[in-house]
Amino acid sequence: MYRVASRLGLTAEINGRNAWRDRRNGEPAPNTGGWVTYFTPGVRASLSPKADLTVNMQIPIQEHLFDDQNEGVVVVGGLGFNLFR
């Protein structure tokens, strides 16, 4: 994390997802399965000594999906608590 202020930081990650093809009646189902690699920039804000808010944007940079699929940008947010901090 790159801290830009005392309670604010920037993050950058490379993430991936792989999914096997679904099966219907023993046959591979259409438009299922494949893999995607994402570039994931984000922001993390410290709300208190024990709570953080994180917002990430998953941007597909490489994909191999079966049949007629398309992966778009996904925004993910989370609220984390560390009870032992």
Q: What is the mean pLDDT of the chain?
A: 96
Residues in the chain: 85
**Per residue in 49-81, is it b (16+ CB within 10 Å) or e — as a string?**
eeebeeebebebeeeebeeeeebeeeeeeeeee
> What is the domain extent for residue 50?
2-81
Q: Confidence class of residue 65 from pLDDT cuts 50, 70 and 90?
A: very high
Looking at the structure of the chain, the number of domains it has is 1
| Percent over 70 (pLDDT), the chain | 100
Question: What does the angle CA 26 – CA 18 – CA 57 come to, to the nearest 5 degrees?
Answer: 135
Amino acid (one-letter) located at 75: V
Residue 36 pLDDT: 97
pLDDT tens-place string over residues 38-59: 999 999 999 999 999 999 999 9
Q: What pLDDT does 10 receive?
A: 98
28-43 burial, b at 16+ Cβ within 10 Å, e below that, comes to eeeebbbebbbebebb
Band (pLDDT 50/70/90 cuts) for residue 30 is very high
Rounded mean pLDDT, 58-83: 96
